[in-house]
Structure 1
Amino acid sequence: MKIISFATQKGGSGKSTLTLVLAAALAVDYKLKVAVLDCDYQQSIVKTRVQIDEESLQLLKESNPDATYPFDIFSIDLNGIFDFVDNPENDYDLVFIDVPGRADGDDVFNALTACDAVIVPLVADYLDRASTAEFMHILQTIKTEADKAEIPFEYFGISTKRSNNKEEQEMDDYVDALGLARFKSSLSYRAAYKRASTLYSLTTPAYLRYVGGDKNVSEEIHAVCNELIERMELPIKSVTE
């Protein structure tokens, strides 16, 4: 089991969207057994499933009684993360943890120590750059202690809402200067990502057309999934092009 959190100390960076987009694609296209732990106070991932996707699933069951969600979601308090990951019955290939967008308490810090990797969404504006620098100190502290204990822990940046302007290049240069390893792949600023689902993958052609996306969306998601699989040494079970 690999445990990954998309985390920042500033809201609005797209961490919950990243979690949804990648969880669905990795479960549907790559056949990984995925769980998402929604530990954020806003419970946006749980709400997406209950308030939006549950009705769609029931309609789908009318024609396909065996239809089900592609990955599991659990609403868990931050203090319950270790109980979940230490339970041998939870035999997932990959667990995503959606933590609150803050870093001002021991509960978030402790939750991040449960992870094999923390991925920091990077948004190109001044406030996000400053926030990223502060968050780096927290991750470096965890990395230092993990290395001493010989426990695997990595952290990376990934660009979200990318629009290929001057601020993006400034953000790239800033992150490189901080020494934060970055994903080569990224997600652009596209309306389709706002329609991320817990039932359908945005790489599924029918759903992609429904949300107004194009092949660039699918290509971006697959590029991020492939890089995540490589970096985290996840099992490759199947790939749907």
Structure 2
Amino acid sequence: MGKIVSFATQKGGSGKSTLTLVLATSLAVDYNLKIAVLDCDYQQSIVKTRLHMDAENLEQLKESDPDASYPYDIFPMAMTKIFDFIDDPENSNKYDLIILDLPGRADANEIFDALTACDVVFVPLVSDYLDRASTADFMGILHSIKAVADKEGIDFSYYGLSTKRTNRREDKEMDEYIEQIGLSRLNSSLGLRAAYSRPSTLFSLQNPAFLRYAGGDKAVSDEIKSLCEEIIQKLDLPVTDLTTIKDATAE
């Protein structure tokens, strides 16, 4: 059965949909994982990215390769339909990883319920003061879910994921704050880089040609690779040899 995760927080602008796009594409393209993204956000930004940015590129690819296709599946979905999807054995057996893109809020029962469907929730950590306060509130929600999950013997974890890092005083304050509240977080992080504003559901930012188009450099590729591989290890996803994949993506 595949793992279910979300990059979630209760504050908009934290980069959760961008994280979903960047990582889903890389995990599918560079690590050959079978991915489904459930776009439950009211803005439907992931669905729109595929329809308005990537559809034309796919048609161009098909001119030289008729079998070209998107590397993973995206489903626009109401949150009330999430459990119907993940409880369907055909879906749970088809995908290695199902990613829920949820609205940037946590004031509705349906969002709380969606979070309980996850094996792991990754919380984007932005160093702005208001984001830190919002993160603390969201941690309370996740802590209550984990307390119930632990009591019932259900696996549930959550980790902070530092984003938009700029090596400034705010980043240091965020680091100190996260240590203070005792939040486990990933070692990998993403900086505040222009390339992340041009995510694709078709091309990975580990692809040198698309990386150049997006205005990125090796630091971008290295960040994504490090984050993908840490997530693969945390979730025990079925990638058998990361060393072989590293060599292939470096060519």
1:131 aligned residue: 134
1:87 aligns with 2:88: yes
2:5 aligned residue: 4
1:99 aligns with 2:102: yes
Structure 1 CA distance, aligned partners of 2:14 and 2:4?
Answer: 20
1:175 aligns with 2:178: yes
1:202 aligned residue: 205
- How far is 1:53 from its partner? 0.5
Secondary structure, aligned partner of 1:10: coil
Secondary structure, aligned partner of 1:89: helix
Q: CA RMSD in A?
A: 0.8
Q: Which runs of 5+ in 2 are unaligned?
A: none
- Counterpart of 1:94, as a letter, is L
Structure 2 CA distance, aligned partners of 1:66 and 1:199?
Answer: 14
Secondary structure, aligned partner of 2:238: coil
CA deviation vs aligned residue, 1:103-133 (integer Å, no higher than 9, x gap): 0010000000000000100001110000000
Aligned residues: 241
Structure 2 CA distance, aligned partners of 1:34 and 1:177?
Answer: 35
- How far is 1:88 from its partner? 1.2
1:18 aligned residue: 19
CA deviation vs aligned residue, 1:170-215 (integer Å, no higher than 9, x gap): 1011011111101111000000000110010011011111111111
CA contact (8 A) 1:32 1:237 kept: no
- How far is 1:134 from its partner? 0.3
CA deviation vs aligned residue, 1:74-96 (integer Å, no higher than 9, x gap): 01110111111111111200011
Structure 1 CA distance, aligned partners of 2:178 and 2:75?
Answer: 33
CA contact (8 A) 1:124 1:167 kept: yes
More helix by share: 2
Structure 1 CA distance, aligned partners of 2:59 and 2:89?
Answer: 31
- Counterpart of 1:5, as a letter, is S
- How far is 1:237 from its partner? 4.4
Q: Which runs of 5+ in 1 are unaligned?
A: none
Secondary structure, aligned partner of 1:67: coil
Structure 1 CA distance, aligned partners of 2:129 and 2:222?
Answer: 29
- Counterpart of 1:141, as a letter, is S
Structure 2 CA distance, aligned partners of 1:28 and 1:199?
Answer: 8
Structure 2 CA distance, aligned partners of 1:111 and 1:218?
Answer: 31
1:33 aligns with 2:34: yes
Structure 2 CA distance, aligned partners of 1:72 and 1:170?
Answer: 38
Q: For residues 49-198 of structure 1, what are the structure 2 equivalents within 5 Å?
A: 49-90=50-91, 91-198=94-201
Structure 2 CA distance, aligned partners of 1:79 and 1:127?
Answer: 30
Runs of 4+ in structure 1 over 3 Å off: none
Paired-residue identity, % = 64
- Counterpart of 2:134, as a letter, is S
CA contact (8 A) 1:30 1:237 kept: no
Compute the TM-score of the two structures, normalised by the length of structure 2.
0.94
Structure 2 CA distance, aligned partners of 1:182 and 1:196?
Answer: 24
- Counterpart of 1:178, as a letter, is I
Secondary structure, aligned partner of 2:90: coil
- How far is 1:46 from its partner? 0.2
